[in-house]
Amino acid sequence: MDPILAEVYSTVLPAAPFVIGAYVGIWVALAVYVFVLVRRSKRTERDLDALRQALASREEKLEQER
Amino acid sequence: MTYKANRCALDALVPVALVLGVALVIAGVVWTFTLAPLVQGAELSEPVVIAGQQVTTKLLLSQKIFYLHVPVAVSSFAVMAFAAFWSIRLLMTGKRMFDVRAKTAMEVTLVFVAATMISGDLWTCFEWGVWWVWEPRLTTYFILTLLVIGYFILRNAIEDPERRARFSAVFCIVAFVDAPISFLITRLVPSSIHPVVFRTDSGLPPMMLIPFLLGLFGMLLLAFALTRIALAINARAAEVEELKARLEEQDAQAQRASAQEALDRLRAAGARVSTTVPVSSSSAHTPEGVGSNPDSKDAVASSDSSSKEV
């Protein structure tokens, strides 16, 4: 490679891993939060189902007592 | 338009904001790496002609980090402003929904703060040769990061929901004071070595300004969409937790009521026994004294049978 061109691009290639890392890091941070939200949403749904079941069994028990 | 209608209208915008935000950011990134020119660095030993253009300086790829780093940082300030606003609303109205909102906004702020720190540190490491420099912008933003983390530590440390909401709201408002300081510090302290991107004389050519603005608006839309989605999930989770607590309280109340009923029956049985069986000691007249009186074996048997019925 032409030494002048090598000098022109001397900071380009060494910077590439840092630039890629920065872009990937930003998307990973956002993706991790989305993952946490999805998990939380699923857990809430599970809890909601459990509460519905508990409520149904409680109502059933009350009916039997009457 | 009512508050509920406003909320529904905002929620209806979420999918559009999400898709548009992602599209704008992707368009910005593609533009950044294809059409936006590389910025010029140090002087070359001698000029060179590349693609018909005379180049006299080294070309810097690391500057491309700023096209997304700055939008992410601005988004963190914007979302934190909402967190502070909702915290003020909580203190004004005392409504718990503002606590959920402020907490959600702080969560999103934490994500954007983390993204800003990651991208900023990688730029710092390459350009300045060190992972960290205690210069004004980095220091104030680091303090902001610690305050956002501290907000969640505080929340976890307080059990009572009312106190937690109030204390966290005050902490959030105080923490937000650092956001404008961090934003303006590069202008307030001239010796700061951190580059100033937002300025009227930045001289960004259109080919660099457009991808930057695409990234900025895209990230702001993404932050809005994320906050609304997280808010819906957190509000639901909070409702479930509240329902659970109420059910548990109901169970506890029912248990207390049945225990009280059993105790009343026991007392009544004790009183009946004490009136029918002659006793020498006055302690036998009290239900507590039934078991302690050696002369009242029948009473013990009677109370035992009563408790078994219970």
pLDDT at position B139 over 50 = yes
In sequence order, the 6+-apart residues with CB closer than 8 A to the CB of B166 are B90, B91
| B222 and B95 assigned to the same domain | yes
The verdict on residue B47 lying in a domain is no
H-helix segments, chain B: 3-34, 66-93, 96-128, 136-157, 161-176, 178-188, 206-276, 287-290, 297-309
Give φ, ψ of B214 to 5 degrees. Answer: -60, -45
Task: Tell me phi and psi for residue B40, to 5 degrees.
Answer: -95, 140
pLDDT value, residue B280 = 54
pLDDT range class, residue B279, cuts 50, 70, 90:
low
What is the C-alpha separation between B301 and B308, in angstroms, rounded?
11
Is residue B161 one of the residues assigned to a domain?
Answer: yes
Asked if B234 and B292 sit in the same domain, the reply is no
Asked if B125 and B160 sit in the same domain, the reply is yes
Question: Is A8 at the interface with chain B, CB within 8 A?
Answer: yes
- Å from B298 to nearest chain A CA? 33
Q: Which of A2, A29, A44 sits opposite B115 (nearest CB)?
A: A29
| pLDDT of amino acid B6 | 67
B297 and B244, same domain (yes or no): no
Q: What global pTM score does this model have?
A: 0.80
Put simply, the answer to whether A11 touches B59 (Cβ < 8 Å) is yes
For residue A47, what is the nearest residue in chain B, using CA coordinates? B240
Which string of DSSP letters, residue by residue, matches chain A? --HHHHHHTTTHHHHHHHHHHHHHHHHHHHHHHHHHHHHHHHHHHHHHHHHHHHHHHHHHHHHHH-
For residues B11 and B115, membership in a common domain is answered with yes
Euclidean distance between CA atoms B95 and A26, whole angstroms: 34
**Which range is most confident: A2-11, B55-64, B233-242?**
B233-242
Which chain B residues touch A6 with a CB distance below 8 Å?
A: none
Residue predicted with more confidence, A13 or B1: A13
Q: Are residues B185 and B265 in the same domain?
A: no
Claim to verify: residue B280 and residue B189 sit in the same structural domain: no
Residue B244 lies in a domain: yes
Mean pLDDT, range A19-46, rounded to an integer: 95
Taking only the tens place, the pLDDT of each residue in B93-120 is: 999 899 999 999 999 999 999 999 999 9
d(CA B65, CA B67): 6
Cβ of residue B266 closer than 8 Å to a chain A Cβ: no
pLDDT bucket at B274, cuts 50 / 70 / 90: confident
Q: Over range B45-54, report the average pLDDT.
A: 77
Nearest-Cα distance to chain A for B187, in Å, is: 25
User: Is the predicted ipTM greater than 0.90, yes or no?
Assistant: no
Residue B140 in any domain: the answer is: yes
Q: How confident is the model at residue A60 (pLDDT cuts 50, 70, 90)?
A: confident
Query: Measured between CA atoms, how close is A22 to chain B, in angstroms?
Result: 4
Report which of residues B48 and B285 the model is more confident about. B48
Residues B181-230 pLDDT 10s? 999 988 888 766 677 665 556 667 888 889 999 999 999 999 999 999 99
- What was the pLDDT predicted at B268? 93
Whether B69 contacts chain A with CB within 8 A: yes
Q: Grade residue B81 by pLDDT with cuts at 50, 70 and 90.
A: very high
Residues B88 and B228 in one domain: yes
User: What torsion do the CA atoms of B134, B136, B139, B145 make, to the nearest 10 degrees?
Assistant: -150
- Residue B163, domain extent: 3-39+60-195+204-249
Residue B1 pLDDT greater than 80, yes or no: no
Per-residue pLDDT tens over the stretch B142-151: 999 999 999 9
Taking contacts as CB-CB distances below 8 angstroms, the residues of chain A near B73 are none
Cα B300 to Cα B310: distance, rounded to the nearest angstrom: 15
- The confidence score (pLDDT) of residue B304 equals 46
Residues of B in contact with A44 (CB under 8 A): 233, 236-237, 240
The reply to whether B161 and B303 lie within a common domain is no
Per-residue pLDDT band for B278 (boundaries 50, 70, 90) equals low
**What pLDDT, on the 0 to 100 scale, is given for residue B296?**
45
Return the closest-CA partner of residue B123 out of A54, A62, A26.
A26
- Section B76-89 average pLDDT: 97
pLDDT at B55: 78
Residue B232 forms part of a structural domain: yes
Inform me whether the pLDDT recorded for B291 exceeds 70. Answer: no
pLDDT (average), residues A54-63: 83
Cβ contact (<8 Å) for B233 and A7?
no
Q: Are residues B139 and B187 in the same domain?
A: yes
Mean pLDDT of the region A56-65: 82
With CB atoms and an 8 Å threshold, state whether B119 touches A23.
yes
The residue of chain B with its CA nearest to that of A32 is: B111
Examine the pLDDT at A28 and tell me if it is beyond 50. Answer: yes
- Interface test with chain A among B107, B226, B240, by most A beta carbons within 10 Å: B240
What is the predicted pLDDT for the residue at B307? 43
B303 burial via Cβ count (<10 Å: 0-12, 13-18, 19+): buried
In which residue are the tokens 């909580």 written?
B90
Whether residue B295 sits in one domain with residue B221: no
Other CB atoms within a 10 A radius of the CB of residue B179 amount to: 22
What is the nearest CA distance from B190 to chain A, expressed in angstroms?
27
Per CB-CB distance under 8 Å, the chain A contacts of B64 are 19
- pLDDT over 70 at B14, yes or no: yes
Shared domain for B101 and B139, answered yes or no, is yes
What whole-number distance in Å separates Cα of residue B17 and Cα of residue B271?
73
Answer whether A26 sits within 8 Å of B122, measured CB to CB: no
Instruction: Give the number of domains in chain B.
Output: 2
Q: Is A43 on the interface with B (CB under 8 A)?
A: yes
A-chain residues within 8 Å CB-CB of B119? Answer: 22-23, 25-26
Residues 82-121 of B with CB under 8 A from A: 107-108, 111-112, 114-115, 118-119
CA separation for the pair B200, B40 (Å, rounded):
20
Closest in A11, A30, A55 to B60, CB measured: A11
Phi first, then psi: give them for residue B168, nearest 5 degrees: -65, -40
Q: Is residue B55 part of a domain?
A: no
Q: Which CATH number belongs to the domain containing residue B114 in this structure?
A: 1.20.120
